Amino acid sequence: MELSKIGIIGGTGLENTDFLDFTDSLEFSNKNGKVSSKVSQGKIEEIEVFIISRHGTNHEFSPSNINYKANMMALKDLGCDAILALTACGSLQEKYKPGDFFFPDQFIDWTRNRKNTIFEGDNVVHTPMNEPFCEFLRLKLAKACNELCFDHHVGGKIITIEGPRFSSRAESQLFRSFGCDIINMTTSTECILANELEIPYQSIAMITDYDCWKDTEETVSMDAILEVMKENSLKAVALIKRTLEILNI
């Protein structure tokens, strides 16, 4: 896969895009409305990069209020060959611990109120979703993690809930019984739209907590998530940079 333009979506705790050598910062809107943030444009190695802060620059958009369609269509219109999407997530399994990276290969969509298709009205399209994430990108991310000695996990199931509330303990235990590995509030919606737009998409999930199923851990909170993301943001930046270097070889 030859890549010259990559879209990067920054998630909770990763709204800052200062790691990019900016050439421009664009206000962007399309027929679906306004993009969540300015689109930061620059280069890493020889790859042109476009970055959107999913929740807005100041985390002003809740998971249910993000204009996913505008965000994904903007990256399509900018000619992105692939999308790497950073996201905070909770772990539903003991072996996946806070601070680890997780690169899912399957999702379960547990959202209820999302506009999760580009095609509306009379233009109905049934998009295959058997392999929703990009194996090529997943393996490159794993290679970068190996080189950087970052704990990571390749393949597994992410469940996306509506939010913005966290799960009840009963829900968390139910999702574990499904065999889900991690949980968040945004990935399935983006992944569905990326597949409809025929853009290879891979989530870079950073585990921040054990949701609420594990009785020996503190209950998940936004403060705790932001603290873990703050501690690990430099790792996320290093992973992105090294992955793009590998893609450029």
The domain total for the chain is 1
Closest alpha carbon to 26 in 5, 49, 3, 55: 49
Cα–Cα–Cα angle for 118, 123, 125, rounded to 5 degrees = 65
pLDDT of the residue at 127: 95
Asked whether the predicted pLDDT for residue 15 surpasses 60, the reply is no
**Which pLDDT tens digit goes with each residue over 153-163?**
999 999 999 99
Which two tokens mark 164?
């913005």
Out of 21, 105, 211, 215, which one is annotated catalytic? Answer: 211
Out of 100, 109, 181, 209, which one is annotated catalytic? Answer: 209
Say which range, 76-90, 198-212, 226-240, has the weakest mean pLDDT: 226-240
105 flagged as catalytic: no
Asked whether the predicted pLDDT for residue 5 surpasses 70, the reply is yes
**Could you tell me if 194 and 201 are in contact, meaning their C-beta atoms sit under 8 angstroms apart?**
yes
pLDDT of the residue at 63: 94
pLDDT of the residue at 3: 86
* pLDDT confidence band for 12 (50 / 70 / 90): low
Asked whether the predicted pLDDT for residue 220 surpasses 60, the reply is yes
pLDDT of the residue at 19: 60
Alpha carbons 101 and 90: distance in angstroms, whole number: 11
Alpha carbons 93 and 175: distance in angstroms, whole number: 10
Alpha carbons 66 and 64: distance in angstroms, whole number: 6
pLDDT of the residue at 156: 98
pLDDT of the residue at 22: 64
Alpha carbons 131 and 83: distance in angstroms, whole number: 15
Give the domain range for residue 124: 5-248
pLDDT of the residue at 248: 77
Beta strands in 13-115 (DSSP E): 21-26, 29-30, 33-34, 39-44, 47-53, 82-91, 101-103, 106-110
For β-strands 106-110 and 157-161, DSSP reports them as parallel
Q: Is 146 helix (H, G, I), strand (E, B) or coil?
A: helix
**Over the range 69-80, which residues count as b (16 or more CB within 10 Å of their CB) and which as e?**
bbbbbbbbebeb
What's the average model confidence in pLDDT over 235-243?
92
What's the average model confidence in pLDDT over 192-219?
91
Q: What is the pTM of this model?
A: 0.93
Asked whether the predicted pLDDT for residue 249 surpasses 70, the reply is no
* pLDDT confidence band for 16 (50 / 70 / 90): low
**Which pLDDT tens digit goes with each residue over 94-144?**
999 999 999 999 999 999 998 889 988 788 889 999 999 999 999 999 999
Domain of 212: which CATH number? 3.40.50.1580
77 flagged as catalytic: no
pLDDT of the residue at 20: 62
Q: Which residue has the tokens 């991690």?
A: 182
Residue 17: CB atoms within 10 Å: 22
Residue 23, H or E segment: strand 21-26
**Which pLDDT tens digit goes with each residue over 28-58?**
889 999 999 989 888 887 889 999 999 988 8
Q: What percent of the chain has pLDDT over 70?
A: 93
Q: Which residue has the tokens 């990256």?
A: 75
Which two tokens mark 25?
């910062």
